Structure 1
Amino acid sequence: MVNNTPAGDSAGIKLGLTLLTAASLNAFAAPEPEAIEHWRASDESNTATIDHSAWQNILDRYLDDNHPSKVNLFDYASVSQADQKILGNYLDTLQNIDPRSYSKAVQKAYWINFYNALTVQVILDNYPVESITKTGEGIFSFGPWDDELAVVDGKDLTLNDIEHGILRPIWNDNRIHYAVNCASISCPNLAGDAYTAQNTEFLLETSAKAYVNHERGVRFDDGELTVSSIYHWYAVDFGGEDASLIEHLKHYASPKLKQQLNNYSGGINHDYDWNLNQK
């Protein structure tokens, strides 16, 4: 598991792959294909952008993106009622937009910010909570991913819909996994900058490099390779084979890590720390 967890009581929450229940695996299941087609449309002639300044203000006030652990931590306990209202108004604004009338670049940033802001709202609505896995509407829920949290263009949406029914299949970009944040220590960092059409490529590349080169993403334990369970849950996005995953990791790895990966021929272990990314 991740060493030197910066926040929270890890007892009973750090869950390795072998401890995942059927309910937890369902949290990452893709929705039916019908959920995808509605969102494929775009207007590439539209040069307008979407204002994410409210989300940026929330990030500026409550996200520590310079923590010594190199895990970005969110100060959920300090979010004022006024700022919770600002976050709610921002999410309302996003829900009143039909993203299909914008360019694909604007849409990509819209959906990433939407996902991350919704996740923060889930934690705030349930706070104090030790892990996002302790939230969710169903009795046997493993987190909120299948809860209907928003309505866009008349369509009820869950976090799973946004990630698996929109972002992953439409953009076919495995770096999406470095952008959407599940409010957990082992998740790739919640970015300190709101995504925009202009900065998305830079943020995706920066986030991928940061995660691959952090111990919660990739590490060697006594000569054995351990990677985040993200690479297991979404193996298909990384080529579906150990060799293709290692090639992906090498692309972002530091010279030292890349050499270790080049020389490695063993199996790959997975784990994940579901503790809240709390400051």
Structure 2
Amino acid sequence: MTLSGVSQNTNVFFTEADAFFEANVVNGKVAYASIKDNQGQLNKLLRLAEAFTVSGDDESINKAFWINAYNICVIKGIVDNYPIKSPLDKAGFFDKDTYKLAGETLTLNAIEHEKLIAGYKDARFHFVLVCGALGCPPLINEVYMPATVETQLDIQTKKALNGSFLKVNSKKKRVEVSQIMEWYKDDFTIDDRTEIDFINSYRTEKIPDNYRLTYFPYDWSLNE
């Protein structure tokens, strides 16, 4: 894989991450048992992530790095505690356990909220940050790359909002969506938009404004 305009050290991280996801993710499911049995590739990737240099000048590199870093650290956290049935089986999985990334020590929540949501005010991140549960949008089997991260964000958001992330009931004039949109409502309603406004900006078949929005329970079962 070639990433034009990206330094050699940065390129190594993205190349290794791409190989890791391709080898260990199939149809959104992660081969945790296999990774646990052979952790060399994962540990190499974590060393590269720790040494990664984040630049304030290049949003595309930063976005791609932090998305991949989050997904890699989720896998690391699960592998360290495997076998488990859910990331919630490990107390502090999201808000206490830390990882060394780009010279900092961060929790998963800090990556999501401080490095991505707070910095870019972009709800699309919720469709690419995969928390290790079946209720999350599926993990893709390739790296998020600086040159294509905006397109990839759009693709994953569209897939979710035109797929199983929501259920439309035209008879009852109701749309059920994942609890992700309840938990992070503020992210989806920036600039006086409603949640349905956000959904319709990515939906092929638009949801009428008069439909009632409800939330279906989140599935915290492990995505394996």
- After superposition, the Cα gap between the structure-2 partners of 1:132 and 1:178, relative to the gap in structure 1 and judged at 3 Å, is same
The 1:54/1:175 distance shift into structure 2, 3 A limit, reads same
Any conservation in 2 of the 1:130–1:275 contact (CA below 8 Å)?
yes
Give distance in 1, aligned partners of 2:101 and 2:25: 27
Number of equivalenced pairs = 215
Percent identity over paired residues: 27
Alignment partners' CA distance in 2, 1:76 and 1:91: 16
Name structure 1 gaps, 5 residues minimum. Answer: 1-45, 66-71
Q: Choose the corresponding residue for 1:229, options 179, 187, 191.
A: 179
Equivalent residue in structure 2 for 1:185, among 121, 129, 134: 134
* Structure 1 stretch displaced more, 163-172 or 53-62: 53-62
The offset of 1:80, in angstroms, is: 5.9
1:269 to 2:224 alignment: no
Q: Note the residue ranges of structure 2 that are not aligned, 5 or more in a row.
A: none
The one-character-per-residue Cα deviations of 1:111-160 (angstroms, maximum 9, x if unpaired) are 11000000011111111111111013xxxx4xx11124222465321111
Partner of 1:77: 33
Give deviations 1:186-238, integer Å, cap 9, x for gaps.
Answer: 101212220111110111011001111222x1103563321111101111111
The CA distance in 2 between the partners of 1:242 and 1:218, in whole Å, is 22
Q: Distance in 1 between matches of 2:161 and 2:103?
A: 38
Higher relative contact order (CA 8 A, sep 6+): 1
Matching residue of 2:163: 214
1-structure distance, mates of 2:182, 2:11? 34
Q: TM-score under structure 1 normalisation?
A: 0.70
| TM-score, structure 2 as length reference | 0.86
Which of 203, 216, 219 pairs up with 1:253?
Answer: 203
Q: Partner of 2:16 in structure 1?
A: 54
Q: SS in structure 1 opposite 2:55?
A: helix
Whether contact under 8 Å (2:182, 2:215) holds in the other structure is no
Q: Give the aligned partner of residue 157 of structure 1.
A: 106
Once the two structures are TM-superposed, the CA of residue 103 in structure 1 deviates from its matched residue by 1.8
Does the CA contact (< 8 Å) of 2:177 and 2:213 recur in 1? Answer: no
Once residues 94 and 220 of structure 2 are traced to their aligned partners in structure 1, the CA distance between those partners, rounded to angstroms, is: 14
